[in-house]
Structure 1
């Protein structure tokens, strides 16, 4: 299936190995993970990881009845399919989910596609998620908090990232779609300074990453705020 509207991610698509290091640093105390379960419990249910990338998170859904990964970047499909035998991984995207109507209980979208802005309206993806969700099913979008946390300060300093959260537009967009938004404060914690440096340099322009690293020479982590946009199918 050709996905003509797919734009490869600048981070994971550019360097999957460094993105793996980033995933390992996320939420060491499980605060975000607990909030995700509270937003939409996937135990004994059918869950879709939409934009699953190389599949790092697929193995964490072991309590689901069925886990399905959807990934538009064909370069990442083999890695995702090799993560766990429990998950099925398909080539697709937010606008093109290769599943039947009303066949899914929970959809997670983690930093994938759903970045509403004045230049981009993700309504097509929301409509597709609504199609595959059963009545009462939930889409949970994991997004960056641009206000709270040290990572948010970096986002505001980086012009491309700052544009995504300008004036609270994403939260306003989700509110108009009858979603609720929950703020979650967690952190990144790396095993080594070199890992932190590699990830920051992947995520941000060199001057932004370099300035933060210069001002925090001993740090192995930073506080990280998330926003969970939770949409329920009527």
Structure 2
């Protein structure tokens, strides 16, 4: 699809990324924090960049309707197969996976209560077209969540900053503030079942050189991980069509 930038981790290594999804935030810090801002019980939820659909059933357990949007055709198929394999027929009926991009969401205006995007597309300056789409699809008073790395703190944050020395976390945070979003600094962790799993995940997240350095200096199967949860609430006034 036009304007899509390939993801170096999940696009190339969906199986390893699945393991990473299972091992991120075992304490549920992200979900608890999002729910403290806006619950999705009985809501219509949009998951942008849903990948292989890992989070779709989790939202659908409480939401009235969950729409997953993903631009990469193999991941769209994986997400649809995940949904089709669910034992609960009612749960399956509440999930819809659509091919599309953040810049042109295949969703009508003013129909979404909660938007969720986790490590997908919304990385700061340059994502303005997607943010305009988020504002378009949100209902009055709806809430959007974007989750991204916090490179200013934690062991993982140090790895991330060393890998991308030109990344400016202060500029990214200032960008979100200008857009009217609120930053929530959270502390989570990776906790992999085995060292082999940990090594595999590190190797899809960093270059070979940086992964070698990380693994040589960091024993074990877990790491502390700082993230930013950015939230936005749509105005209570009438939304406008584009």
Classify the TM-score, shorter chain.
over 0.9
In the alignment, which residue of structure 1 is the partner of 2:224?
223
Match of 2:143 among 138, 144, 151: 138
Counterpart for residue 174 of structure 1: 176
1:27 maps onto 2:31 in alignment = no
Query: Residue 82 of structure 1 aligns to a residue in which SS?
Result: helix
Aligned pairs for 1:84-233 (under 5 A) are 84=83, 85=92, 86-117=94-125, 121-159=126-164, 162-164=165-167, 166-217=168-219, 219-233=220-234
Aligned positions, number = 225
Calculate the aligned-residue CA RMSD, in Å. 1.2
Q: Tell me, in whole angstroms, the C-alpha distance in 2 between the residues paired with 1:129 and 1:200.
A: 31
Structure 1 residues 146 and 79: CA distance shift in structure 2, 3 A: same
The residue aligned with 2:88 is none
Tell me the equivalent position of 2:238.
Answer: none
Scaled by the length of structure 1, the TM-score of the pair is 0.93
Pairing of 1:56-75 with structure 2 (within 5 A): 56-61=54-59, 62-75=61-74
- Given that 2:146 and 2:231 are in contact with CA atoms closer than 8 Å, whether structure 1 keeps it comes out as yes
Unaligned runs of 5+ in 1: none
SS at match of 1:194: helix
Deviation at 1:14, TM superposition (A): 0.9
> CA-to-partner distance for each residue in 1:139-184, whole Å, 9 max, x for gaps?
110011111111101001102xx444x1411110010011110011
Cα displacement string for residues 45-68 of structure 1 (whole angstroms, at most 9, x for unaligned residues):
000010000001111111001111
SS, match of residue 173 in structure 2: helix
So what's the TM-score if we normalise by structure 2? 0.90
C-alpha distance in 2 between matches for 1:69 and 1:191: 28
Unaligned runs of 5+ in 2: 84-91, 236-242
Q: Distance in 2 between matches of 1:143 and 1:38?
A: 18
Counterpart CA distance in 1 for 2:205 and 2:72 is: 19
Q: Provide the residue aligned with 1:76 in structure 2.
A: 75
